[in-house]
Amino acid sequence: MENKPKFTPNPKLKLMDQVREVLRYHHYAYRTEQTYAQWILRFIHFFGGKTHPRDLSAKDIERFLSDLDCMKLIVCEFSRATLDKIKCNRINSPRSRATSAFRRSS
């Protein structure tokens, strides 16, 4: 196995440009690059958009991940409630009653 020197991005570039430079160096797909950049921006904006990620602690990362987890639970509950409502409306719709009456008479 060769000993390659570790790639370091140009420190004169802004953070997101450095991220893109590293991802391109490692030949990540363009869509992966976009997704990683989007998550980094979400993380930065979660803390007001003024703080550089290197200045944030592990506790801040936990807060961000906990918030994501809470949002996931809210979305799941909303989705479940919406799905239940759709099922209920489908069962009680006039078309559904007519179809089930037709099936019973056949």
103 found inside a domain? no
pLDDT at position 4 is 73
59 found inside a domain? no
What is the residue type of 5? P
58-82 exposure pattern, b = at least 16 Cβ within 10 A, e = fewer: eeeeeebeeeeeeeeeeeeeeeeee
* Domain carrying residue 30: 8-54
From first to last of the 106 residues of the chain, give the pLDDT tens digit.
Answer: 567 778 889 999 999 999 999 999 999 999 999 998 988 888 888 888 888 888 888 888 888 888 877 777 666 666 666 666 666 665 555 555 555 555 555 5
41 found inside a domain? yes
98 found inside a domain? no
Contact (Cβ atoms closer than 8 angstroms) between residue 53 and residue 15: yes
77 found inside a domain? no
Instruction: Give the total number of structural domains in the chain.
Output: 1
> What's the pTM?
0.60
pLDDT at position 106 is 53
79 found inside a domain? no
